[in-house]
A and B are shown apart, each in its own frame.
Chain A
């Protein structure tokens, strides 16, 4: 026969002093774990959320980021007239040859400079990226030294407000608008006219090509044709796949979350063990009584395991909620996180995300801590000799 759950529940409440500190300890461990996973998730989500599944991006073979890629004009011409590329009303192929430059700009409210990405984009490139919309001001005029920066970036750099200016090369660029990239990697970029960008930086080569096949079925065929052409030496990929792979930056944070999760949970397991052992020791007589009443060893083990896991899960729920509150606070305050993207060498802006599945993971994690911590005390409780237990004070 199993012991009623009420017994465990009441025990946890009666011994509140030692349980509170255990619960708080576990809550903090879970909160740290969930928050760090949330950071890694934020970076991954930013890249996973970028691009249009109908587009193909082309960069130089071997380059790790668009900013380090070079595509010559001959290559552009060859790709442009491949069969199967969509054409617009004017009959032109929908191919956007773009330039991605790294520009260092002064940080807002802090000393020093950080790198940011400046993309020279064509009207067709803007058509191909419907997820980027203007939210303030106006788009740049072709042939003018004007840029439109991501709204999220504007809070991180000096002179990125509308009407502000920043230096790129020997020229100053005027910020005329802000766009919103709906949480994509474009939220870390500033856009300007492609030809103007090439003129400022005196660049003959492009960085990447973006195009859309006329027929979605022709996608893999077009990719295959570009990839297999030895003369081109270009890498073609679906735009969404390309960005989804740019996740190197999230890797160290994930490792950190994993390492801290493991190390802190070891500490938490010992703390839980301590509490449960003390709980068993102070209930020796009670356990003896239960045994005399006919409760089996197994049900006593189960009872203590449930108690330990329950205790830890209270901590887990608390910790997950704490992480969620931090997340809500950050969203309400509109705080963006930025870190160096190891692939493009420019600052990437992201928002960390605490999603329900991460919170559930946190609670499950706490249950595992509680289970591991109460296993040995539970076994000890079940093995207490009945007569001695009854006699003990």
Chain B
């Protein structure tokens, strides 16, 4: 009998306990991975290379405050700005829905083309979108979700704007970080609203990431001390601003994760010490036979490590399979978008499981080392 088979036999001797331990570690590890993924989802906005080249300028008061449309002429002349378009969040509810399940933006189609660099046209033609003032440009995910096709109509009831545009799908895009949005003509919105002469934000692109800081400063300076001061920032900084508003949520998830890890530890430690205590007599026999302490330690460590790791793997890959397999976007009505279990998170889970195995073997090992052979042989438990 080799040492390895001895350890395995020992671990599986009480199959029920081994199974229960593995499952409880698996559940906890799966939970930990899920929480880490949730934290990542809530705190790190989707990143794309193009996002660092884009700048969003909003009213300094707040995002809800509009900007005068006449600012366009000034922005156009700012050196470094390659393309600029009005970008107004419409926030309408699709058909009979009562929540805004995806975003709609009013843009200037001819100008907007120069801003969407990472996406590609999946269906229809962009020219059709530019030509027809009542048409819209829709993300592939939204098309799929509602089973729409080119030429279908999309009706929205506005929640921020008291108008209900009815749009014809002219083209479909794919390959951006968020393939859900709907874009339509700002002219249409202006018309419906009675030409208020305002836009929500300005969306612009710079030639290279190095120049973006200069451009931001120039845009801010251009409207300083006017009746509508702006705050320009990169798309990424803009998204981070939203996340910072989530407040203590990050702290909340962080503390819950800590508690989960701690609970996990308690469970495994208790099981391991149970397994060892049950075997005190045997370990005493091994001691009497001349096995050294070090060898006995490694028996315990190997068993505990093996069980923890088996549970950890099961939990981590289980969580990965679940979150990759189910359509969370649909389930949460767009609240959770990616929920990607990254290799980094999985590795974190693995490290926690491994540490757990090591920590769990400490207290039984000490108990074993302390006990004398005679005492151990006497134990009945």
Contact = CB atoms under 8 A, between A and B. Distances in A.
Contacts of B240: 112
Given A68-B159, A170-B227, A271-B270, A263 B245 contact: no
Contact of A25 (B63, B65, B267): B267
A340 B246 contact: yes
Interface string A48-67: 00000000000010111001
A340 to B, nearest CB: 4
Nearest to A263: B31
B274 to A, nearest CB: 5
A22 interface: yes
B298 interface: no
Interface string B253-289: 0001001101110110111011000100000000000
Interface stretch (B21-29, B102-110, B138-146): B21-29
B28 A267 contact: yes
B62 A274 contact: no
Nearest to B38: A256
A103 to B, nearest CB: 5
Contact of B270 (A104, A256, A267, A275): A275
Nearest to A113: B241
B148 interface: no
Contacts of B244: 107, 110, 112-114
A252 B246 CA distance: 12
A28 B245 contact: no
Contacts, number: 154
Given A170-B227, A201-B65, A267-B28, A274 B17 contact: yes
Contacts of A268: 263
B266 A24 contact: yes
Contact of B380 (A32, A39, A339, A393): A393
B271 A274 contact: yes
Contact of A260 (B17, B21, B31, B229): B31
A264 B260 contact: yes
A18 B268 CA distance: 11
A22 B162 CA distance: 58
A347 B63 CA distance: 13
Nearest to A337: B248
Majority secondary structure of chain B interface residues (helix, strand, loop or mixed): helix
Contacts of B157: 62
B74 interface: no
Interface string A345-364: 10100000000000000000
A203 to B, nearest CB: 10
Given A21-B269, A114-B245, A278 B61 contact: no
B207 interface: no
Contacts of A168: 61
B252 interface: yes
B335 interface: yes
A11 B310 CA distance: 32
B263 A252 contact: no
A101 B64 contact: yes
B17 A339 contact: no
B162 A271 contact: no
B266 A270 contact: no
B20 interface: yes
Nearest to B30: A263
A29 B266 CA distance: 12
Interface in A10-38: 17-18, 21-22, 24-25, 28-29, 31-32, 36
B279 to A, nearest CB: 12
B96 interface: no
Contact of A267 (B27, B64, B162): B27
A368 B247 CA distance: 34
B64 A274 contact: no
Contacts of A252: 335
B45 interface: no
29 contacts: A32-B259, A32-B260, A60-B162, A62-B159, A62-B162, A67-B64, A68-B159, A101-B64, A102-B61, A102-B65, A103-B62, A104-B63, A113-B241, A114-B247, A115-B62, A169-B61, A169-B65, A202-B227, A263-B27, A263-B31, A267-B24, A267-B28, A268-B263, A270-B20, A270-B24, A270-B27, A282-B381, A340-B242, A340-B245
Interface of A: 17-18, 21-22, 24-25, 28-29, 31-32, 36, 39, 60, 62-64, 67-68, 70, 101-104, 107, 110, 112-115, 167-170, 201-202, 233, 248, 252, 256, 260, 263-264, 266-268, 270-271, 273-275, 277-278, 281-282, 337-340, 345, 347, 393
Interface of B: 16-17, 20-21, 23-24, 27-28, 30-31, 34, 38, 60-65, 91, 93, 99-100, 157-160, 162, 227, 229, 240-242, 244-249, 252, 256, 259-260, 262-264, 266-267, 269-271, 273-274, 278, 335, 380-381
Given A68-B64, A339-B248, 9 more contacts: A18-B270, A25-B266, A60-B162, A62-B159, A263-B27, A277-B16, A278-B274, A337-B247, A339-B245
7 pairs of A and B residues whose beta carbons are closest in the complex: A21-B270, A270-B24, A102-B64, A340-B245, A267-B27, A102-B62, A338-B247
